[in-house]
Chains A and B, each alone.
Chain A
Amino acid sequence: MDKPGSLQNGPEPVDFRRKLTVVMILICAALSVLTIRLWYLQIIKGDELKQRSENNAVRFRKIQPLRGLIMDHNGVVIVDNRPSFDVLYLPARGVDHEDLILKLREIYKMKSVDFYPAQPFPRTLKSYLPVRLEKNVGMEKVALVETNSMDLPGVYVDVTPIRLYLDGEITAPIIGYTGEVSKEELEKPEGDYASGDITGKSGIEKALDPYVRGRRGNELVEVNVYGKVIKNLGRIDPVCGSNVVLTIDAALQKAAWEAFEGRPGAAVAMDPRDGSILAMVSSPSYDPNLFNSGIAREAWEKLQKDPLKPMSNRAIAGQYPPGSTYKLIVAAAALEEGVITPETRINCSGSFDLGNRTYRCWRKNGHGPVNLHRALVESCDVYFYTVGKKLGVDRIARYARKFGLGDVTGIELAHERKGLVPTRDWKQARMKEPWQMGETISISIGQGFNLTTPLQLAQAYASLANGGTLWRPRLVQRIEAAEGGVVKEYLPEKKGDLGLSGKTVELLQQALWGVVNEPGGTGYAARIDGADVCGKTGTSQVVGLPQDEQARRRKKIAAFHKDHALFACYAPARHPEIVVSVVAEHAGGGGAVAAPIARRILKAYFDGKKKDRPVEVAVRRQTAGQAGN
């Protein structure tokens, strides 16, 4: 055998023997160091580490961030945060958790408070992930748990921020509510949620959740058997969510809510100059604070089963026949299409015959010969039956669409409904039946298949008020970082143009002025001091009964079969600043019920302006982490 380590086939034998010996020694030395370390850990420090492994637990804690504040356009805080106390349990070794909960119940009994489990006890426990026993407990329980901590190994109180909706049900339809992240949301890959996170479930809270949510922090602490922190192992601070500035005026919102006095309905107040929503109420509503720490089952069922559907935002999801408020659109179509001139007079005898059916005007005795202006002011039905018949359903539909009806407005909220602008094709496709002329007659006064949302109504009237521009209704002005500075600015968005001639616009505006201000006008009840109001009333039938039949039954009609009252208006007549649409469900006539509601909203707006209120920015900013401790 050759001498090992020498290479005969190389150009020059290299002596690897020495190098390999060095390498062997180095490796043996290194491995010895590791063995000594192993000895040190297991033998020298063994007992200490064994104790740590038996007694101490490492607790991993998510620190929920503060959600961003939500403010009105003046900086008045509408949605804030408040601390909530939860009772948590970190699974400890050798503790039977059923005994533990029995013990907790006993301790509670001393002060005669009950134990309300936050969740069914999980089947498998992770030693570093605490289980939440109770949510949002009162100070009494906090004190009981803290003072009895020796008897309750692993049980402790934790503070997390939860939402405080200062205006409760008044703003709930816009703001929405928050809750713990759902299973479905957790499974979304793009969500970056962890269980226990708080997310927006509806309204602005949901739409702007990525901005408002903030980023959760983490903390890793070593705790002893009693759950006391004995060592801080690391912490990542949470990051506050961004604040949202809405276009809403909190005071006007409140006034609008109060104007309804609890009656079911919805109202939208909008700035016709850029589409900013100043107020949007939907009545009845719900208290979003109930959802903060998980709504109780009974409360949830009550909300769900309520026939008045308090959880739905009627302003965007309530679809109502527009009634006579639709006459504005039929009038615009008729003028533009040359079907009538402003002077065309039609004689209203109180009824209109088509085939073997008779369609009645709301005024039994008729209006006599009326031109367009008077027909709008007095809301003459026969005039519009005649004009509508000449126009045909499809031409009316074309103009309705120009006014933004029959499609979502594009507001930031989810669950917006489209409403309905019927056409011949629509009926053929939907019902497999041809269009009937009689249906055109119903359409021309906003009945029949027609459906609009209160928001669409406000949008349509805003476009006339501003001379023809269709703005996208908007709720969000900007998003601001918690530490100041603008994160994102939302600019007004022009969606389209009515394309009406200046003369038509002027004629229609004058007629709307007449509705409120001229003798015989149906919207007389909307007048306020100091500003000229222009508007149009509407009364929409709820059940499609023939007019005379309905009249006969009116006296004994149940509340649910009464007509909806509508009113859409703007003010001041010159340079309008505010558009208001009101729908009062099953309330009766638009002029009698809806117009006074609109009047109260308008009055609140102009009174508020008069006060020239100083900018009282009651912003309560907090820093992340403080509430988490």
Chain B
Amino acid sequence: MFFFRYDRRIFQNFDWTLFALVMSICAIGVVNIYSTGFSLGENASPLYLKQMQWVFFGLFFMMVAFLIDYRYINRAAYGLYVFSVASLIAVALFGHTANGAQRWISFGVFLFQPSELMKISIILALARYFDDHKSREPYRLRELLIPFGMVMIPCALILKQPDLGTALMIVIVSASIVLFIGMNWKSVAIAVASIFVMLPLAWHFLKDYQKNRLLTFLSPENDPLGTGYHIIQSMIAIGSGGFLGKGFLKGYQTQLKFLPEQQTDFVFSVFAEEWGFLGGLALMVIFTSLIIWGLKIALHSKDLLGTIIAFGITALIAWQVLINMGMVLGVLPVVGIPLPFISYGGSAVVSLMAAIGLLMNVSVRRFILQR
């Protein structure tokens, strides 16, 4: 096969550290979901089993993303991007609706959430673009018009679902990549200024219900019964965990179902209630190590492409961790952003595991790439 040559070094230099970090986070995730599902009914909810299935499913994609040289994967970057956008359009046309949002495509047995795939596709597409258009000078606004469009198209589609959290994530990660590879400071200033000018204009075109959603998003105090309740319950749960926690399956904020969204966005409060500060600190350390490790991979990559891919994926994980924990701990407004590998969600776990595969890919190929 032209895109995959067997090379002993791939396995000799396999990134066991990265693998171990990710698998330990996944394991914590499954155990934690088991705890949230514990009181769901007499015959315990199979949610944790499902999550386990997704992890195994994700391992397969991780291996695929790892084995194929990322420079070959890079050739398919635009194709993957177009596929993701098409999937988002399909969602808009005949997607599955749940909790008032149309985010999924139903495959009968499971629901596929294209916006999760989009998070990876946009990183690969931007990496491809900047690798194709290398520049010795920091990029200026004019040179960034195409990447800007590449980000905005999926964003608009995801906003329409509506899923502000994911759209925000795509913007933040893309902006991080652009700032990382270098942008003319004057251009940054102009871009920021023009966003402020455009906002009221865009506001004008929004429908009332969209405006309301955005307002609630920007200031959750306007929706005290929804997000305010979440925050208070989350902080009570975390705080009542104390230093050692209440113990596995003993968190009653969790077990009494005080906590809303406990298997998705507020999953960390469940963990912190049952495992206390020690557990929370441990998870914090594992995440920090994962992020630092990812940045190291970006640093040691042999080419620009590998650096951008590794940086992009690490940025995606880092931002999600920071925003999710910030919101659960009550220092950031409530935005629907899940905690990577810990929150329940099939599409998210699978696409994140595939992303880790890519990270391993970059990590191992610095030992192989010549030049």
Contact = CB atoms under 8 A, between A and B. Distances in A.
Contact of A52 (B240, B241, B257): B240
Contacts of B326: 34
Contacts of B229: 58, 60, 220, 233-234
Contacts of B242: 42-43, 46-47, 50
Given A9-B303, A42-B238, 11 more contacts: A4-B300, A7-B304, A14-B182, A28-B292, A34-B325, A42-B242, A49-B240, A53-B239, A233-B229, A234-B224, A235-B225
A42 B280 contact: yes
Contacts of B304: 7, 9-10, 14
Nearest to B242: A46
Interface in B214-256: 224-225, 228-229, 232-233, 235-243, 252-253, 256
Interface in B181-206: 181-182
A27 B291 contact: yes
B190 to A, nearest CB: 21
A111 interface: no
A614 interface: no
Interface string A6-47: 011111101011011001100110110111011101110111
A41 B235 contact: yes
A617 interface: no
B47 interface: no
A19 B138 CA distance: 14
A5 B232 CA distance: 45
A359 interface: no
A52 B135 CA distance: 58
B322 A30 contact: yes
A38 B284 contact: yes
Contact of A53 (B136, B237, B276): B237
B67 interface: no
B287 interface: yes
B11 interface: no
B28 interface: no
B329 interface: yes
A386 interface: no
B102 interface: no
A220 B291 CA distance: 39
Interface in A183-214: none
A190 to B, nearest CB: 14
A220 B225 contact: yes
Contacts of A93: 252
Interface in A48-69: 48-50, 52-54, 58, 60
A128 interface: yes
B218 to A, nearest CB: 17
Interface string A240-264: 0000000000000000000000000
B134 interface: yes
B180 interface: yes
Interface string A101-126: 00000000000000000000000001
B298 interface: yes
B243 A46 contact: yes
Contacts of A30: 322
Given A38-B281, A58-B258, A233 B232 contact: yes
B371 interface: yes
A390 B161 CA distance: 71
B318 interface: yes
B329 A20 contact: no
A616 interface: no
A38 B322 contact: no
B288 interface: yes
Most buried by A among B242, B287, B331, B371: B242
B295 interface: yes
B250 to A, nearest CB: 12
Instruction: Classify chain B's interface size.
Output: 35 or more
Given A9-B303, A50-B240, A42 B276 contact: yes
B181 A14 contact: yes
B76 to A, nearest CB: 20
A308 to B, nearest CB: 48
B299 interface: yes
B160 interface: no
Contact of A27 (B225, B318, B330): B318
B277 interface: yes
A126 B258 CA distance: 8
A549 interface: no
Nearest to A28: B288
A127 interface: yes
Contacts of A43: 242-243, 277
A2 interface: yes
Given A9-B371, A31-B287, A34-B326, A23 B239 contact: no
Given A5-B299, A39-B277, A42-B239, A128 B224 contact: no
Nearest to A222: B232
Nearest to A35: B284
A38 B280 CA distance: 8
Interface of A: 2, 4-5, 7-12, 14, 16-17, 19-20, 23-24, 27-28, 30-31, 33-35, 37-39, 41-43, 45-50, 52-54, 58, 60, 93, 126-128, 218-220, 222, 233-236
A33 to B, nearest CB: 8
A54 B307 CA distance: 50
B96 interface: no
- Most B-side CB within 10 Å, residue of A34, A45, A93, A218: A34
B225 A53 contact: no
Contacts of B136: 11-12
Interface in B281-329: 281, 284, 287-288, 291-292, 295, 298-300, 302-304, 307, 311, 318, 321-322, 325-326, 329
A220 B281 contact: no
Contacts of A53: 236-237, 239-240, 252-253
Residue of A19, A42, A45 contacting most chain B CB atoms (<10 Å): A42
B258 A218 contact: no
Given A34-B284, A234-B228, A49 B295 contact: no
B206 to A, nearest CB: 22
11 contacts: A12-B136, A23-B180, A31-B321, A34-B329, A41-B235, A42-B241, A42-B243, A50-B239, A234-B225, A234-B228, A234-B229
Contacts of B302: 2, 7-9
Task: Please name the 5 residue pairs, one residue from A and one from B, whose CB atoms are nearest each other, closest first.
Answer: A234-B224, A49-B239, A12-B136, A53-B240, A50-B240
B288 A31 contact: yes
B258 A128 contact: yes
A54 B311 CA distance: 44
Nearest to A33: B331
Contacts of A2: 302
B167 interface: no
Contacts of B256: 127
A222 B238 CA distance: 18
Contacts of A10: 134, 303-304
B232 A46 contact: no
Contacts of A49: 235-236, 238-240
A10 B258 CA distance: 55
Contacts of B239: 41-42, 45-46, 48-50, 52-53
Residue of B181, B239, B281, B330 with most partner-chain A CB within 10 A: B239
Contacts of A8: 302, 371
A544 to B, nearest CB: 59
A16 B288 contact: no
Contacts of A126: 257
A28 B64 CA distance: 31
B251 to A, nearest CB: 9
Contacts of B236: 49, 52-53
B107 to A, nearest CB: 23
Contacts of A39: 277
